Structure 1
Amino acid sequence: MTIVLAEVTIPSESFELGEILHDHQKLRIELTPFVPTGNGLIPYFWVEAADQDEFAAAVRRDERVAALTVVDEGADKRLYHIEWADSMSTNGFLEAIRTNDVIVESGVGTSDTWRFTLRAATHDALASFQQFCTDNGIELAVHRVYSPATGEYDTDGLTVSQRDALRVASRLGYFQTPSRATLEEVGEELGISSQAASRRIRRAVETLVDNTVILE
């Protein structure tokens, strides 16, 4: 079985733990590796903060948190164990991980942005995860996709459906000037509406720009 790794970033407000911490002081959080199951989500994480007591008090006030306990301390950071309230929902990034068999190898976040290394069993599983994020409005930026076993990697970050949309549009001549194909024809070839084809092509182009132009 080939393992696929992906390095991605998301805004803090798109991630449940990041959302809880979003309005607090400048800090850095490092997650321990985890597989999201039930309410045992992200039980341990390290925090570097100017005022650890203020950080802990702010997190404990959140209704989604049942308890927060310090289990270890370093020179400038603390290891916390968090227990989530029964009312805690996972309808965002964590749900994308859970429903698509993706494991978090590492995660580091600030009050603004989180960067993750994710592990999936196949490219299809990773593509399904990306598509779930797109369909649910999660702003996911994919910076690198690679296989540790083969050394192969891909930096464009496209989902399978986005790549197919670009291939069909290109083959039909949609990108030529003047265009040789309409969105209706592209959509018909893909088996989707013209509006869906337009959204898929636009998101694919935005992903390519974000991951190949801006990051260079």
Structure 2
Amino acid sequence: MSTIANIEIPADEFALHDTLVAVSDLELDVERVVAHDDERVMPFIWVSSDHMDDVERAFENDASIENLELLSDLGEERLYRMDWTTEIEVVVQILVEADATVLDAFGTDGRWEFRILFPEREALSMTHEFCEENGLTIDIQNIYEMDADRHGRFGLSEAQHETLIAAFEHGHYEVPRDITLDDLADELDISHQALSERFRRAYSTLIENTLIVGVGDEE
């Protein structure tokens, strides 16, 4: 069964560590990443910082990257294509050996966060064993098993998924609403309190596994 895992890797064991150290407010959001072979990985990365000149200088001095190309410049946010050439053993293992897909990747503040779709649970176990055998750090935050439905991709339970879909189809999110919470609870044959709690848990799960990927704590 396919499995989605949220993992963290220390920045000092991964590509672009020197750049992350050099620019304190830097945020790296990977749009897409592919592996050419077992020595080179090519990501497309959105780079955000208030100090883009510092970022450019840091890129020039970062030995972990080659073939840097600016694709889009939006001021304080830019899209780059580059090659990662060192400190990429974990990602090569994930993409090449485990045949997995990187759904999200985010680097900032001394760490990299990944959300990865593994074709089967065993592939995740193989990746974890690879890291242990090679002295690499991988911190598995969450694991979600995918079933025949797509709700597992975001960590939703089947009941939470069905509730959100039913709410949408019955116009609960329309303005004004086409159905009240009481009527929706009757439609789902659950109590008003149970429906409210299911909504709360579903929203929390969706936010955590979509919007919060890569967002650090803020005061």
Which category of TM-score, normalised to the shorter sequence, fits these structures? 0.5 to 0.7
Cα distance in 2 for partners of 1:20, 1:132 equals 24
Alignment-derived partner of residue 124 in structure 1: 122
Amino acid aligned to 1:47: V
**Correspondence list, 1:196-207, <5 A:** none
Q: Displacement of 1:137 after TM fit? A: 1.7
Give the percent of matched residue pairs that are identical in Structure 1 and Structure 2: 21
Question: CA offsets, 1:94-126, max 9 Å, x none?
Answer: 232232222211101104011100111100111
Counterparts of 2:14 and 2:88 in 1: how far apart (Å)? 10
Q: Which runs of 5+ in 1 are unaligned?
A: 156-216
Query: Structure 1 pair 130/56, CA: closer, same or farther in 2 (3 Å)?
Result: same
The alignment partner of 1:66 has SS state of: strand
Alignment RMSD (CA, Å)? 2.5
Would you say the 8 A contact 1:32–1:42 is kept in 2? no
CA distance in structure 2 between the partners assigned to 1:42 and 1:139 by the alignment: 22
The total of aligned residue pairs comes to: 149
- One-letter amino acid of the structure 2 residue matched with residue 122 of structure 1: E
2:132 counterpart of 1:144: no
SS in 2 for 1:118: strand
2: CA distance between counterparts of 1:104 and 1:152? 16
> Which residue of the partner structure matches residue 170 of structure 1?
none
CA distance in 1, matches of 2:12, 2:133: 17
Cα shift at 1:70: 1.7
Aligned to 2:36: 37
Equivalent position of 1:73 in the other structure: 73
CA drift of 1:68 comes to 1.9
C-alpha distance 74-120 of structure 1, shift in aligned 2 (>3 A): same
Question: d(CA) in 2 for partners of 1:74 and 1:110?
Answer: 20
Match of 2:188 in 1: none
CA contact (8 A) 1:3 1:121 kept: yes
What runs of 5+ residues in structure 2 fail to find an aligned partner? Answer: 156-219
CA distance in 2, matches of 1:91, 1:52: 24
**In 2 relative to 1, CA 91–21 (structure 1 residues): closer, same or farther, beyond 3 Å?**
same
Any idea what SS the aligned residue of 1:145 has? strand
1:32 alignment partner, SS class:
strand
Structure 2 CA distance for aligned equivalents of residues 33 and 11 of structure 1: 20
SS of match in other structure, 1:55: helix
CA spacing shift, 1:43–1:143, aligned 2, 3 Å: closer
